[in-house]
A = this chain, B = another copy of it.
Amino acid sequence: MERPRHQGMAKNTNMRWRLPLVCLLWEVAMIVLFGVFVRFGPEADAHWEEEKRELNLTSDMENDFYFRYPSFQDVHVMIFVGFGFLMTFLKRYGFGAVGFNFLLAAFGIQWALLMQGWFHSFKNGKILIGVENLINADFCVGSVCIAFGAILGKTSPIQLLVMTLFQVTLFSVNEYILLNLLHVKDAGGSMTIHTFGAYFGLTVTRILYRPNLEQSKDKQGSVYHSDLFAMIGTLYLWMYWPSFNSAISEHGDAQHRSAINTYCSLAACVLTTMAFSSMLQKKGKLDMVHIQNATLAGGVAVGTSAEMMLTPYGSLIVGSISGIVSTVGYVYFTPFLESRLHIQDTCGIHNLHAMPGLIGGIVGAITAAAATEDVYGKEGFIKAFDFTGMYQTRTPSVQGGFQAAGIVVSLLMAFVGGAIVGGILKLPIWGDAAAENCFEDEVYWEVPEDEESDVYHMHNPDKPASP
């Protein structure tokens, strides 16, 4: 093992002080803010026995924990294993994919608990948290994981943390506007998570455009086993997506319905993805990039409407269409975005999240506008759209209009926010790698030696493997 290590790889990006400093200072800030603001909600507090008596609950089963904890754990897996491993497809960026996703999500959920807490769970000067807050924090971070997909391999961990800080903030504002001001329904986050997250990320990567990125072109591909690692991510996202879309729906029929709709949509999406993946290749061979990503579009595209009476066949239609759109996107739009619009989208989030997210918003608006008391039942209708209090007189078509407005707001927030945050990330102080070192773990990670030499060998086919 005396072969010299690849020179130039070891470029010092000066993470040594900056990354620790950011991590530690921010964690201290979290501790202080949590100390001032965050407390257990009534269902997690030791006063629960009194609460139970007051609310006349006869069983501990009525604790929200039991309604939502299994879904929470599924969502948790999606964020950390799902997104983390989905991005390990790159041959030399597996550590960065799964490790940086871990880092940004772990910071993001803390900050999201605060931001979303101030907007939604703030009582008497305290944020009262329970399992639903944990799910919502994971959701919020999901939008950051999506944006991470666009800039994967091209940014430093500090840039990712800075982006997380801002994106979580903007996410929470956007979510507040949609859910509270526009009174929009979006339980699975087609608009708040996917549309916002994806267009935010795409705008950021546009601002961070690297003209010389083809210098690391050889590292942008996958190897056999990295594609299998990525399939772990894909399958966990796919399997648990019914939990994602139903996790914060109303107890009872709404959670049940969301899961069924999402299950159907995803199943259909797999078939149309396979069909178009084969059809659009010269030799009819399937492309792992499509299978890894476009099969998930069906989950994104029913994110708004899954808890509505979309019906199983409606879900099949939406899932089928989104699989097609997403696969076509990978074949035609991604190269176009890169060459013409200078949008370098590493994971193709435009195809997996942006377009299906828009479809999801639109389908949600239509499904809401088409709702009738006949289909939902009198009580079910009011419950499904929360047409109570000041929204008592809102009609389905008006609701549909507000849903559509929610898409526009999410897009605006994404473009404006992404531009500003992209500008901040462009500052030359964050330690990002040179173009020829993109998609390369060795810049930020200690990488085991022997594999390094493999790569070394791979890139120098004219040199003998062993002297």
Contacts and interface: CB of A to CB of B under 8 A. Distances in A.
A186 interface: no
Contact of A288 (B95, B384, B451): B95
A253 B46 contact: yes
A30 interface: yes
A282 B70 CA distance: 43
B130 A275 contact: no
A302 interface: no
Interface string A364-387: 000000000001110111011000
Contacts of A52: 252
Contacts of A267: 106-107, 109-110
Nearest to A27: B271
A215 interface: no
Contact of A380 (B48, B99, B131, B291): B48
- Binding site of A, secondary structure by majority: helix, strand, loop or mixed? helix
A242 B75 CA distance: 13
Stoichiometry (number of copies)? 3
B260 A129 contact: yes
B281 A446 contact: yes
A43 B98 contact: no
Contacts of A122: none
A256 B44 contact: yes
A51 B184 CA distance: 27
A338 interface: no
A45 B77 contact: no
A224 B275 contact: no
A392 to B, nearest CB: 17
Contacts of A178: none
Contacts of A67: 60-61, 66
A176 B194 CA distance: 42
Contact of A278 (B1, B19, B224): B19
